[in-house]
Structures are given as C-alpha cells and as structure tokens.
Structure 1
Amino acid sequence: MRSDVLIVGAGPTGLVLALWLTRLGVNVQIIDKAAAPGTTSRALAVQARTLELYQQLELADTLVAGGVHGSGVNLWARGEKVAHLPIANIGEDLTPFPFMLVFPQDQHERVLIERLAAAGVRVQREVELLDFSEQSDHVLARLRHADGSEHSVEATYIAGCDGARSQVRQQIGSGFPGGTYPQVFYVADVEVSSPALGGEVHIDLDEADFLAVFPLAGAHHARLVGTVRGERAERAENLGFDDVSDQAIKHLHLVVDKVHWFSTYRVHHRVTEHFRHGRAFLLGDAAHIHSPVGGQGMNTGIGDAINLAWKLASVVRGCAPDRLLDSYEAERIGFARKLVHTTDRVFSLVSAEGRWADLVRTRLAPTLVGVLSRSATARAFLFGTVSQLNLNYRGSALSQGAAGHVHGGDRLPWAVAGYEDNFASLAQLDWQVHVYGAAQPGLIDFCKGFGVALQQFDWQPEYQAAGLVQNVVYLLRPDTYVALVDPTSNWETLDRYFSARGLKPLERRHA
C-alpha cells in the first residue's frame, strides 16, 4: 500500500491534516492505535483564527451552531466575584467570529471524522506504528494491528500527530526538553445547580486548588477543569471526583448534582528540538505541549496541520520544491516556544502557593483585569493574542513587503464593505491576489496567464479602516496568510516572487 502521506494519530491535529490534504488532492492514510475516538475532552476552546481557517472547508458554521459563545470571564476570590472581563463580540471589527467558542474536543473530533469519511477517508483504528525507515524517495513504515499481525506500508512523507509520547518523535530522535507540572489536572463533565453560568467562564483564584468552569450547551451542563496538588497528586491514578477540593467549588457557589465523567492527567511544558527530520514531521502535542491556560493547545495543533498541509500538497503535486517544507518548522517552532513560555508563566502565577502569590492572584490580578475591561484597545489586543489573530510569519522566507500596517506574513485583515466580504474567496485553498482598488492591466494579464486567481474590490472606507491600502497587491498563500505586499502593484514583482521560490498555483485558474 502506498500513500502520499501517512498520518499517525487521529486527534484533532491529525484529522485536520488529513482533511486539508484530501481536499487538496493528496492521497492520505491515517492510523490510530486507539479502538475508538475519545469520549472525554481536555480541550474546550475553539479560537477565532481556527474558525476562520475552518471556513475554508465550510466547517465553522457546524461548530458555532453546536457550541457556546463565551461571553465573559469572571474571576472569584473568597467566594466573591472580584473582576469581570466581557468578551462577547470583543473582536467584532476584527473577525467574523468575535468570540471564544466553547465546543468540547470529543464533539469536535466527531465532526472532523464525519467530514473526512464523507471525503472517502476512514481512520484505521487499532493500528500502531512500530517503526519506519527513510528510503531515497519514501518512508517504509511497519504497522501492527489489534490481532498482532504486522505489515509494511510506503508513504512519501510521514506526519507524527501521535501526542506527547509520539513514536514518530522518538524514532527521529528529536529531544523534547521541558518539564512536568507537579499538580495533577482533572476535567469533569457535570450537571450543576447554581446561579446561571450565563455562557461565561468562571475562575477561582483562591489558594485552594485552581478551578475553571466552562459552560456547555444546556442550561446546567458545565465542564470543570482544575488541579489537585500535594499528597493527593502523588496518587493521581486513583483519584476520583470526591478527592477534588470542594473549597474551590464552594467559592464559586456551585452545587454539583451529577458527574457524567471524571478524568485526570499530567501536564508538561515542552517543545521538541525539530519539527522536521527528512521525510518526517511533528505536529500538535507530538511537537509542543503546555498548560491549558488560554485554550491554546488544540488550536495550535490545528494551525500546525493547516500550515503543513498546503506545503505538502504543493510538493507532492509538483508545484513547489522540497525546500518549501523547511518553512514549516521555521514558521511554527518559534510560536510554539513563545506559547509554552507564556502559558507556563501564567499558570505558575495562578497556581503558586504562599502569602505573596496569594496576594498577587487575589488582589493584583483582578485589578489588572478591571483596567483591561475598561480599555477597548487593551481588550482588542488581548482578544487578538488569545484568538491567535495576531500570529504572524513576518520573519519567514515566504514573507515579503509591507504597506501601511500590513506586512508579508500577516493574517489578511478582515473587512466587509456593503455585501462584499473579503474573506469569501478564501475557500479556494490556493494562491490568490487581492487588490483593493484598481489592478493594473499587466497584473491582470499575468494572473490570467500564470493561473492565479485575482480578486478586485472596489475601494471603500471599510478597507482603509481594516488597515488595507488602495491599489496595493496582496498575494495570499493557500492558508490565507499574506505572502507578498507590493505597493508598486507591478506584475513583475509577483513573477519574481514565484520564480525565486519555485512555486506555482495548485490549480490552473483563468480570470
């Protein structure tokens, strides 16, 4: 059996990679050693940038319809609400999805599996990667099935989406430096009777165990994410819900009526040394893992998958040289390191013990949140950071030029003028050019001859407000990030960009 890409691991990262590659015409095989998808969820938040990218495959509306829009974050101390950060429509001028969506990972995976099956790809369950070797033009992987039988498969590339204990990572010998938090994390799916959660997140800041409460669909359905520490953490394997400190639960005035399920896990803060080794790639938890603070983990893995998918498709289909794949590590590893560092510092703050730590957490933090809640600029920056709208690839070899506030490597600013949404064309999953104003005749001819789609938008004030500049050429990558910003609007600049990197559109288009 031969495939273009063998994907090891069928969590959200592996499923998204398989789905994008399949849509881009790449033959994939996806395996997972688990007998069935998970039924418990650690990841809950789906950030705005993920939903924007999901629009490319018409996935966003399905998740939005089934999830809860987080409308605010409440901080509690000593049994009282001490700060409130409103986040409902906090980014309404920035994105079509100006909210944090709460949509549990198990439901999320089911949506992806169903969409992948509709595209003709089935996850091969109870199949374990034993090892693989790299040949001149492919990898040869040895797999084991539930009945103990083994067979080998060939693939042009292999993608390790197989979690913190990644067999792919171990095989390529990439280190996984970092550490493990002393606390044990737990997640519980519960029914509660208490003052209405109101679609908001509630976090207890007292010196008791850390606890965050996330609203789920249903008036009294919620997910608790918390920690246990000290002596209880040493017997993590035998912990039950009754072992969780009820002090934090009482601080939030929660009455837990029913526990649907309860699960514990250890959390690490690590980033692997390499995201690529020859024909092997690491994505998601196989490449980076950190505390759940900020709801970044699953979204970052999905970002890895979409970043790599279009590059693999370009190389497999002869539209780019193999060196394009080096940009995957270059673009993603720096963000992963920064994210792990940031979430580690925040979690260390909220979980630290001692008099001064308690003072910072219960007095200083609420004051800071109060200041943020009164500043529109601060709220927008915070939303842009947590939602990953601010993530950019400005330092990438694929990024070039600038005009106004937009640089090569930035996410394309979102703007709606009248009935025209400039994100509508992004579903093409290919290179395209945007011009807000008038495109020069030479540019029109080049785009038509080269086979890259050209989108022209009549200049409107809304585009200027979004940070776009009139008549400038914006070349967009298949993952909707800006590759080239050319204020001269000269077709030759576009030609040189593609020629210098050996790139071609994935599909030949005719304007």
Structure 2
Amino acid sequence: MEEVSPALFLMSGTRERLGRMAAQQRGLRGGPVLVVGGGPVGMVAAAWLARLDIPVVLIEAEEVPKTDWRASTFHAATLELLDELGVAEQMHAEGLRVPIYHFRDRTEGLVAAFDFGLLADETPFPYRLQLNQQHLVRMLHERLRATPNVELRFGCRVTGVDRTPDGAGVELRAADGSTERLTGSYVIGADGAGSTVRNALGVEFTGFTYPERFLIASTSVDLSRALPGIAEVNYVADPREWLFLLRTPESWRAVWPVPPEQDESEALAEETLRRQFQGVAPWPDGYPIIDRQLYRVHQRVAGTFRVGNVALIGDAAHINSPMGGVGLNSGIHDAVDLARRLGRVAEGGADPEAELDAFDERRRAVAVEYVQADTQRNTERLRETDETRRRAAHDEMRALASDPDRARAYMRRASLLESVRRFGIGLPPGRTPEPATGAPH
C-alpha cells in the first residue's frame, strides 16, 4: 500500500480555525466532527460527512491506513449506501460478485443453496460482493486526502475524551510522545471493540465471549477444484469442527474454531494450517498460506450509542460473530445513519438531541434484534452437537431454500434489506419507512 506523507497529517492552527469557521457556518458551533478510528467504518463516516460539506478530522493510531483482512463481505443494503457515496463502482471493479451461497454439512455435503437473485426486483445488488475491507479503506483514504475541510491525523492515539459546552474534545498522543488536545462539535468513536472512546465514557459493553477462538487462514489454492461443487461462500456445519469457506479476489479463505487449550503459536504455525487445510480437502501439492489471524469472538452491545455529543459506531458499539458477514455492514449503516443526522443539524432546524436519541434508539435496536440475534443463531447452527437439533436445523434450512417466499424473506434478512426497510438509515426522528412490500427499490 502506498505510504502517506506525514505532512498530510499535520493540521496547522490556521487550518483549524478555518475548519472551525466553516463548521460554524454549517450550524456546528463547536467546530469539526472528530472521527476516531481509520478502519472502514470510520472512513465511511468521514467520507459521508465530507460529502455533506461538514469539516472532519479523522484520527487513527496507526501510521498508515489499516490492512486488516478480517471482513470481506458487502451486502446489498450496504452496497446501496456505498453506491450513493460514489465508491461502489470501484468496489465492483475489484471485487467478486457472489449470488449464491451454500449451507453444507461436513459429512453429508450440500444441505441448502440460497440465491440472492430472489431479491433482484428490490435491489440493484442481488448478491454478496466479496472484497477484503482494506480495499475500501484504501479507496476512501485516497478520496479523503484530496477533499477540502478533511484533516487526516494518522499516527495519533486518542488517550482521553471529554465533553465541552459546545461539543466534545479528545486528548491525542503522537508517536514521538507529544500530546495535543482537539475540540470539535461531535466525537464519533469508530475505534473498534476495545474502544478508547467507549471506555472513556464509562459505557457498559455487555454480552459474552465464545470459549473457542476463531482462526482465519487464506490460501492461493482454488478450493473449488479440491472440493468440486462448492459455492464461493459456504457455511459448513460439523459438531467437532465447523467451517466457513469463502472466496475473495485474492484467495480462498477458511475460518474454523480453535480450542481454548491450544497454544496460539501452535494454532498459527505453518505446519498446523497446512494440515488443517488438508483436513478440509486433500491437495497433493499442499496449501501455501498467504494470511492468518487468530482472534476471540464476542457477542456484545454497548449500553448506549451516545453520551452527549459523543457517539459510538461499528465495533465500538456492537461486536458479533462473523457468521453471516454483517458486522462490518451494520457498522457502515451506523456511520451513514449518524452522518445524515449530523447533516441535518448542520443545515439548521434539526433538533440535535432528538436526532442523536433517534440514532441511539434505532441503531441499538438493529444491533440487538438483527445483528446479535442472527449471528448467534448462525454460529450455533454450525457448532450444534446434539444430533436431534442438528437434524432439525438441517431440515429447517432445506425447507427455507425450497419455498421461494420463505427463501426470499430469509435472504432479505441476511442481506440487511429487511432491517433497513424497517428502520431506515438516518430518517428524521418520528419518521418511519413505508411498509416493506417487496416492490422494486
């Protein structure tokens, strides 16, 4: 990835004053919006605010944009938003469209196939787009570098957050140890599951952690040749070692559980990973490993998504199992919802308290009722050990896939279209979407 000149991350006093004046002209008395976190969710928040001519300071602890491979799925409802942002075309040029995914059993093979094409009359994106998240970060970073009234502060770690009469402020520590305080009209915490912003606010992050860790490993071997008939996205149930297999433009990726007692260095060792892939599908030439990550998985939701003029989005607000590929997507929805509300506040006439309360209420409801509920159910379905419940789950998936109406409803929920059509994204307080009819979008 291209290195970024440190000069681009420096904000002079003159530019800060100009940003503050522009923010005041837009109705944000406290200055620019401070976005903490330069991952995909923080980048979307900054890009959307900039699109609304709201001055932004993006703060990221890393020296350069993040290159995390973890999330790679963009659903229809998210692609609609990113298309409005003007980045979907570039994403499609680099990404992989996957209209069909499989629910499989490791012993029995295919259980059910689901086709997002059933949603073609409702969305222009009836598929999953597979694209590693760092590419979206790169695309938006390139845009933000050239956008007026956007300051990029990489290599700066937020160490504290406080509220001010007109907004909120953050304490920063640079790589050289120097410190600085920035103030703005709002602070947006998009700084991940260990969020400094959330912890500074004292907001609870309730839920639980799975006992096993999840391991992601990528290989250059084409798994569709090793396992003929698989889809490009596959959820594979097994009571001993479930699997998640999916293709991205760069590689095939596998996700599997690592027992609590297994040592991390052993789990990540080249020999271990090659052996794991051979257990998935024998391949005479062996499996080159091109990426690996081991991480703990949580199901947690913040007690509130806003405190005063400080708001939480993405993993800072809710974190979940990756089974379903909705964590990144729902975080992007948080970012757009909040940006649209701040846009109305900046225009004047909108009640800031009512807008932020609506953001908190609606996005937290989506996190609990959709993201948490569905990812937990998906994970439990894959790891179920009781044979009677396993059979019942398989039968239910077959019944869903064989009934076009039920399959359509299932795909609407899986693609997050249902939650967006129900709650909207950034609708004014008191306004709700029109009842979903399945008509073309």
TM-score bracket, shorter-length normalisation:
0.7 to 0.9
Match of 2:210 in 1: 181
Match of 2:344, SS? helix
What is aligned with 2:318? 288
1:257 counterpart SS class: coil
* Alpha-carbon distance in structure 2 between the residues aligned to 1:127 and 1:98: 40
Deviation at 1:173, TM superposition (A): 0.9
**How many aligned residue pairs are there?**
402
Q: Which position in structure 2 is the counterpart of 1:141?
A: 170
State how far apart, in whole Å, the 2-side matches of 1:413 and 1:123 are. 42
Aligned to 2:195: 166
What residue number does 2:101 align with?
A: 73
The aligned residue for residue 358 of structure 2 is: 327
Letter in 2 for 1:328: F
Indicate if the aligned counterparts of 1:209 and 1:229 stay in contact, CA closer than 8 A. Answer: no
Give the counterpart letter for 2:311 in structure 1: F
**Residues 1:44 and 1:215: Cα distance change in structure 2 (over 3 Å):** same
Question: Could you tell me which amino acid in structure 2 is paired with residue 409 of structure 1?
Answer: P
Give 1:139 shift: 2.0
For residue 203 of structure 1, report the CA deviation from its aligned partner. Answer: 2.9
Counterpart residue number, 1:306:
336
Kindly indicate whether the alpha-carbon contact (under 8 Å) linking 1:70 and 1:200 is maintained by their aligned counterparts in 2: yes
> Aligned-pair distance for 1:184?
0.7
Distance change >3 Å, CA 343–CA 67, structure 1 → 2: same
Paired with 1:342 and 1:77, the residues of 2 have a C-alpha distance of 19
Q: Which of 298-307 and 205-214 deviates more?
A: 205-214
In the alignment, what sits opposite 1:273?
303
Which deviates the most, 117-126 or 235-244? Answer: 235-244
Q: Percent identity?
A: 31
Q: How far, CA to CA, are the matches of 1:251 and 1:138 in structure 2?
A: 53
What one-letter code is carried by the residue in structure 1 that aligns with 2:320?
Answer: H
In the alignment, which residue of structure 2 is the partner of 1:222?
252
Partner of 1:427: none
Give the superposition deviation at 1:315. 1.3
- How far off is 1:252 after superposition? 4.8
Residues 167 and 309 in structure 2, CA contact (< 8 A), matched pair in contact too: yes
AA in 1 matched with 2:132: P
Structure 1, 176-185 or 115-124: larger mean CA deviation: 115-124
Q: Indicate the structure whose relative CO is greater, using CA pairs within 8 Å and at least 6 residues apart.
A: 2
CA distance in structure 2 between the partners assigned to 1:214 and 1:260 by the alignment: 15
CA contact (8 A) 1:90 1:98 kept: yes
SS in 1 for 2:359: helix
AA aligned to 1:55 is D
Q: How does 1:9-408 map to 2 (within 5 A)?
A: 9-120=37-148, 121=150, 123-193=152-222, 194-195=226-227, 200-217=232-249, 221-232=251-262, 235-236=263-264, 239-241=267-269, 242-243=271-272, 246=275, 250-252=279-281, 257-323=287-353, 324-338=355-369, 339-352=371-384, 354=385, 356=386, 358-361=387-390, 363-391=391-419, 392-393=422-423, 398-400=429-431, 408=432
- After the TM superposition, list the runs of 4 or more consecutive aligned residues in structure 1 that deviate by more than 6 angstroms: 411-414
- Change over 3 Å in CA distance of 1:74–1:346 after alignment to 2: closer
Deviation per CA, 1:282-318, whole angstroms, max 9, x where unpaired? 1100000010111110000000000000111221332
Q: Deviations over 1:189-211 (max 9, x none)?
A: 21124245775212332223221
Deviation digits for residues 443-487 of structure 1 (CA, Å, limit 9, x no counterpart): xxxxxxxxxxxxxxxxxxxxxx549xxxxxxxxxxxxxxxxxxxx
Task: Name stretches of at least 5 consecutive residues in structure 1 with no aligned partner.
Answer: 401-407, 415-464, 468-511
Consecutive unaligned residues in structure 2, runs of 5 or more = 1-15, 21-30
**Which position in structure 2 is the counterpart of 1:483?**
none
Secondary structure at 1:266 match in 2 = strand
- CA distance in structure 2 between the aligned counterparts of 1:247 and 1:264, rounded to whole angstroms: 14
Do the aligned partners of residues 375 and 29 (structure 1) sit closer, same or farther apart at CA in structure 2, a change above 3 Å counting? same
- Partners of 1:100 and 1:13 in 2: how far apart? 18
**TM-score after normalising by structure 2:** 0.84
